[in-house]
Amino acid sequence: MYVVTGAAGQLGRLVVEGLLAAVPASEIAVVVRSAAKAEEWAKRGVRVHEADYDRPESLAGAFAAGDRVLLISGNELGRRVPQHRAVIDAAEAAGVALLAYTSILGTATFRIAEEHRATEELLRASGVPHALLRNGWYTENYVAGAAASVASGEVFGSSGEGRVASAARRDYADAAVAVLIGEGHETKVYELSGDADWSMGELAAELAAASGSPVAYLDVAAEEQVRRLVAAGLPEGFAELFPNTDAAIAEGELALRTGDLARLIGRPTVPLAESVRAALGA
């Protein structure tokens, strides 16, 4: 059985659809917090298990011996290590054949990376056959606000001329599917990122080209970046993560390009310009 945890999220949904295109639905299971979010999959023959990372007992029966599992990292910063431990423990007890984990690039040292590193340590200590899918940044992190950037005529941040080798969420989902249904991925560490890297100035240029409106990159101090994000409605604690990450980008921590992602999916990664056009409906 191919099992996807956190399947109702944006990445998880793409992974499940990718699996449905590759294997029979009867060979797929999803682990979700609410079974209602997986009703359509259930109608197609996918097995649905309702569980919560915060309730380890709810994971009983989620996995079986020989399963190939994708652990999609939780999105609750500060809680992810115990949540991931619960999944790893359940997978170990069941005797799964493979546990693939969506981690972060090995070059990343910023705060968001800390829980990923701790989870990797848990996996190594567990003895569960595993593969590390060290995902770089999603292009969607930046183009989700494309329309607002075009409307305001600017994108802002504090990464200077730092570069990001991002890839589309679909690229990372396809890589996860390739590892789940493929062979020989145990003990492998994949550094996954886009084929090309870009700067925020280049992102602004792509937005301008796709929209026909002037868009510029405004590099601001960390304090100003936080102020702007809080004014836009983000909690201050979350907003403070952005300059921390941007400082790492300025140092090149998200510019790593290994080609692992393109090799796994058997095609080039989605270019930035294509993601920008899609976000703007252009």
For position 76, what pLDDT does the model report? 86
The mean pLDDT of the chain is: 96
For position 78, what pLDDT does the model report? 87
Structural element, H or E, at residue 224: helix 222-231
DSSP letters for 80-111: HHHHHHHHHHHHHHHT-SEEEEEEE-TT--ST
Residue 24's CATH number: 3.40.50.720
Instruction: Identify whether 40 is part of a domain.
Output: yes
Domain that holds residue 118: 2-135
Summarised one tens digit per residue, pLDDT across range 159-180 is 999 999 999 999 999 999 999 9
For position 77, what pLDDT does the model report? 86
Beta bridge partners of 68: 2, 98
Instruction: Identify whether 111 is part of a domain.
Output: yes
Instruction: Identify whether 271 is part of a domain.
Output: no
Residue 211 has pLDDT above 90, yes or no: yes
Summarised one tens digit per residue, pLDDT across range 180-207 is 999 999 999 999 999 999 999 999 999 9
pTM as predicted: 0.96
For position 49, what pLDDT does the model report? 97
Instruction: Identify whether 223 is part of a domain.
Output: no
Instruction: Identify whether 29 is part of a domain.
Output: yes
Under the phi-then-psi rule, with left for phi > 0, alpha for psi from -120 to 50, and beta for the rest, what region is 112?
alpha
Number of domains making up the chain? 1
Instruction: Identify whether 180 is part of a domain.
Output: no
Instruction: Identify whether 159 is part of a domain.
Output: no
Summarised one tens digit per residue, pLDDT across range 107-158 is 999 999 999 999 999 999 999 999 999 999 999 999 999 999 999 999 999 9
Instruction: Identify whether 60 is part of a domain.
Output: yes
